[in-house]
Amino acid sequence: MRSTGSWYDVEAAGERIDCTVRGKFRLSGSRETNPVVVGDRVSIRLNEDGTGVIFRIAPRDRSLVRRAAGRQIGKSHVLAANIDRAWVVQAVDEPKLNTGFVDRFLVMAASQDLPAGLIINKIDLLEGKQARADLKELVTLYEGLSYPVFQISAERKKGLRKLGKALRDSTSVVAGPSGVGKTTLLNLLSPGLDLRTGEISQATGKGTHTTTFASLHPLPDGGYLVDTPGLREFGLIGLEVGQLAHYFPEMVPLLPGCRFPNCTHDHEPSCAVKDAIDEGRFPISRYDSYLSMLYNLHLGAGDVGR
């Protein structure tokens, strides 16, 4: 239910048990930074003092994974395991909406075969015609790619009922930059939780990294939601250059039209993707995201296979 990296809250027979992890999992030379993650199904042995030891982890269904941040080069950070859908949360402002983050998140979810969606919070902060039109364009873009999109204001309690319905009876995870309102949202969906939320820094307009550990919570109408700490970036891992385009739903139908079967849709002649761009049939922001991911993979930064 919750992982601090040294202690794990495990729910067993309706009780919460403080557990540690058997050393073996830590020493296994894993490509993951964390041996046990929120959402894992585990077997535990009880100690006499009522604490427990996790000694087995069941094979995982779909997980939400990103490249580990900082110095842990080549490792993956599993945010949550055994989930049905992953939601990338952004705010329209405070902090500024980051489409690069969204696109990386959607690619990583697709690479794990994990259904994903977009939650746009703080729509109460929308000011002016232009901002409204920009948001509408963004929503149309992602809905057009068949991702569910919810526009909400946790503060004004707008759009929550619809979102609550979409979350019902399944296990979801919310992830995004710090300060977008992930925990505020969970507190509203599950009244009584009263999890700590944080202010936005006046100096940077960004969140202050209030949530420090991922945690899984039952929702009142059924299902579970995993809250996660704010992320500065959502890096790719475990992807090959040749796979990338397949995780952009709008590129997939174009791919057979490229002259070269290994076309990267960057510099090659007779590229159906570039033709679509030139003719205004392909969203520029998505192509920018694609190229930035492509160069990233070429540099080896996101590719665990090298």
Positions in the binding site for Zn ion (CB under 5 A) = 258, 263, 265, 271, 273
Tell the smallest beta-carbon distance from residue 197 to Mg ion (Å): 6
Nearer to ligand GTP, 61 or 124 (CB): 124
CB of 183 to Mg ion, least distance (A): 3
Q: DSSP letters of the chain?
A: -EE-SS-EEEEETTEEEEEEE-HHHHTS--SBS-SS-TT--EEEEE-TTS-EEEEEEPPP-S-EEEEPPTT-TT-EEEEESS-SEEEEEEESTTTTP-HHHHHHHHHHHHHTT--EEEEEE-GGG--SHHHHHHHHHHHHHHHHTT--EEE-BTTTTBSHHHHHHHHTTSEEEEE-STTSSHHHHHHHHSTT------PBPTTTSSB-----S-EEEE-TTS-EEEE----S--B--S--GGGGGGGSTTTGGGGGGSSSTT--SSS-SS-HHHHHHHTT-S-HHHHHHHHHHHHHHHTTTT-TT-
CB nearer to Zn ion: pick between 54 and 258: 258
Q: Smallest gap, in angstroms, from Cβ of residue 2 to Mg ion?
A: 13
Residue nearest to ligand GTP (CB): 230
Binding to Mg ion (CB under 5 A) within 145-174 occurs at none
Stretch that binds Mg ion, among 35-43, 45-53, 101-109, 207-215 (CB under 5 A): 207-215
Q: How far apart are CA 62 and CA 43, in angstroms?
A: 19
Q: Could you say whether residue 183 binds Mg ion (CB under 5 A)?
A: yes
- Is 226 or 258 the residue whose CB approaches Zn ion more closely? 258
Based on CB atoms, which residue is closest to Mg ion, 182 or 274?
A: 182
Q: Which listed range, 25-33, 96-104, 137-145, 210-218, lies at the site for Mg ion (CB under 5 A)?
A: 210-218
User: Which position among 211, 215, 264, 296 is part of the footprint of Mg ion (CB under 5 A)?
Assistant: 211
214 vs 8: CA distance, rounded Å = 11
Residue closer to ligand GTP, measured from CB, 90 or 111: 90
Nearer to Mg ion, 218 or 229 (CB): 229
Q: Residue 10: name its binding partner from Mg ion, ligand GTP, Zn ion, none (Cβ under 5 to 8 Å by kind).
A: none
Site for ligand GTP, rule CB under 6 A: 121-122, 124-125, 153-155, 178-184, 197-200, 207, 209-211, 229-230
**Using CA of residue 21, residue 24, residue 27, residue 29, what is the dihedral sign?**
negative
For ligand GTP, give the closer residue by CB, 209 or 217.
Answer: 209
Closest separation in Å from C-beta 185 to ligand GTP: 7
Q: Could you tell me if 120 and 207 are in contact, meaning their C-beta atoms sit under 8 angstroms apart?
A: no
171 binds, among Zn ion, ligand GTP, Mg ion, none (CB under 5 to 8 A by kind): none
Least Å from the CB of residue 169 to Zn ion: 41
Shortest Å, Cβ 102 to ligand GTP: 15
- Distant-in-sequence, close-in-space partners of 71: CB < 8 Å, separation ≥ 6: none
Residues that bind Mg ion (CB under 5 A): 182-183, 210-211
